[in-house]
Structure 1
């Protein structure tokens, strides 16, 4: 495991805590553990909202206290804001908010007036994170600012789907339009590849009077490659930390969470991301997913997550800055040291990379830009100075986790999950 010592030279404000904010039931979240470790190793007091006292985040030695608060992500915003303020009062001093999901990022942006004073967070136009997290909102912003994205339509009725099916090019991809909203009955279980007009019409009959879907151009994996951008932008939408990498494997295959990725320098991609963020006026941490389409030589933006990504610890620059450290330093008035990203680093999510590896070997898919050898490996769960999250993950994952992986794999085969779309 690679462990940078550069972070020891950073001097954050240790009087300002960090708070991991998550809404919903997903206890095995390695991104939250990574954020706790990243700031905790610098001496920043770390707190987290957790589902129970036995999540990997809750048992980290770098966590000062876990606030047990089970949520679904579907609660009324006023209830979530009140709960967050209660947590803030218990911490007793302003804390930097670190959201790990879209629900949290949207809530913070839309309730800045209530949260200001108790917490520190980037000031952003209130409705922007919700629009960026929406498939339709993101697509409209891409069109408005000339950023390539897959062609897409947003049908409002079954009749519109019938008209579209008669002239559309298949295969295509169906996604839930508002992916950040946790629906009781989503239109599709995830990113779904649809091969024929008949298949689309058959599936659409269950979408109700107002389909909440996006029908999107299919980018074949044989002609494309998955890239990721993680960055932190200040109040003027200037990048204080910018990183690019290539996704080697995900789970479910080609459609889900990053299982294995490498840092790869890509100035063209970094410039595209920086220009787009400047145009829309966003500030804060971003996690972008793009596909390079070899057919036309363009990077197409698939997802804009207005918060840290679970795999953010893949990226670090020479002075030891990752996006979470950049966030904390900037919001507390400290300089964010510049430096080149540590190229060639690899990130591995232990509990999902093995099944992903087996699936990718069967498919024959490879990522040409992945380095032949890693300059260092960052594991999502296992860390020599913080072992309990790894063993807690194993205890919670082995039986139900193996069953869940199988169900995801079966669902992916049944729904014909399309490569590279999340």
Structure 2
């Protein structure tokens, strides 16, 4: 019996993409969730097994124990693949216990959490000579003066703990235009027990957002990588990718590999950079320490990161590979891109003709697959149900 792949979080298309990426290679995939609600990733024909476990946050100890109990029943250690930041944080906090029963690339407890926490990431980046946007912490001396003089309005109020902030406010940041709005945002964050800081906005439209997507082996060396460029995100300007292209940007390899190898990172990581439209310099914005939301695009250009992870973990690594050409292929999450386009056009940031022109590329879809259509039908059924439920309410 081969090692199974246990995928945490299948109510979002990242989990679905991980299941497909592994299932197509003949790997036995196990969809793990805390609820049947909106579990469309588990509807894939590539999902071999489905289990329900206690909630990772509300019943953390029971969740960890359920994972351990499952692994104990297997002939070989399963490979564990978290597909959401909140799952990742819990696994990272209990890494030493979990690693007794699962194969996981990361060996240093706390490192994954440090790179997804904006405060500790900022410190790590500064320590390793990577440029980050100017930041002022709320409790620093002369806070207001520094915001007005160093950061300037408009600026961003960002959380240290992004998953918790998003769960509370359904947005990644607060954008504020003056001191009054800043004080309101700080009060909102304080009321919700969210620690935040203030950061300068790096000038440039959403197409100035780039990514370095890489896998680092157990020696913390980059073995597989490519670079991408975001064209549109939702919510617009400060959201998740809805239309992204693979684009070769060699300087990102220099910046990204040096940093990740320098912090002794292992496994998959995606660094988001923003290119300053005035200076051309790249600033590190954030890191995704789990499979990215445009994983299917990476798969389509020849980098199957869930399978790369799986093969190294079972001791049979794939040959190193880098995509060092621009393939012109795009990731497209049509459902949210339609919402994004409406807002881009409404705010005058894009013309309809530009959007239409951008769509004439070979695409990697977030959910839809002709050979595996069921997840898309389950997704649409849930969305339509919610829509009618809201209207009735």
Return 5+ residue gaps in structure 2 as ranges.
none
The Cα shift of 1:315 comes to 1.1
Distance 1:211 1:82, change over 3 A: closer
Contact (CA 8 Å) 2:333, 2:367: kept in 1 or not?
Answer: yes
Question: Tell me, what secondary structure is at the counterpart of 1:230?
Answer: strand
Q: Give the match for residue 377 of structure 1.
A: 363
Distance 1:47 1:53, change over 3 A: farther
Q: Give the match for residue 273 of structure 2.
A: 290
The Cα shift of 1:67 comes to 1.0
> What is the count of residue pairs matched by the alignment?
382
Q: Give the match for residue 105 of structure 1.
A: 88
Higher RCO (Cα < 8 Å, 6 or more apart): 1
Question: Which is worse superposed, 250-259 or 77-86?
Answer: 77-86
Question: Which is worse superposed, 111-120 or 218-227?
Answer: 218-227
TM-score (norm 1): 0.82
Q: Give the match for residue 325 of structure 1.
A: 307
Contact (CA 8 Å) 2:15, 2:83: kept in 1 or not?
Answer: yes
Specify which of 114, 128, 134 is matched with residue 151 of structure 1.
134
Distance 1:402 1:327, change over 3 A: farther
Q: Distance in 2 between matches of 1:208 and 1:253?
A: 25
Specify which of 15, 29, 54 is matched with residue 32 of structure 1.
15
Q: Give the match for residue 182 of structure 2.
A: 200
Contact (CA 8 Å) 2:117, 2:161: kept in 1 or not?
Answer: yes
The Cα shift of 1:105 comes to 2.2
Contact (CA 8 Å) 1:162, 1:201: kept in 2 or not?
Answer: no
TM-score (norm 2): 0.87
What is the CA deviation profile of residues 51-94 of structure 1, one whole-angstrom value per residue up to 9, with x for unaligned ones? Answer: 217621121111111112362x5336433321221332355531
Q: Give the match for residue 409 of structure 1.
A: none
Q: Give the match for residue 2 of structure 2.
A: 15
Distance 1:354 1:208, change over 3 A: closer
Q: Distance in 2 between matches of 1:151 and 1:391?
A: 45
Q: Give the match for residue 111 of structure 2.
A: 128
The Cα shift of 1:246 comes to 0.7
Return 5+ residue gaps in structure 1 as ranges.
1-13, 405-422
Q: Give the match for residue 78 of structure 2.
A: 95
Contact (CA 8 Å) 1:230, 1:323: kept in 2 or not?
Answer: no
Q: Give the match for residue 74 of structure 1.
A: 57
Q: Give the match for residue 4 of structure 1.
A: none
2:254 paired with 1:271: yes
C-alpha RMSD over aligned residues = 3.0
Specify which of 169, 181, 195 is matched with residue 212 of structure 1.
195
Q: Give the match for residue 61 of structure 1.
A: 45
Contact (CA 8 Å) 1:231, 1:285: kept in 2 or not?
Answer: yes
The Cα shift of 1:43 comes to 0.6
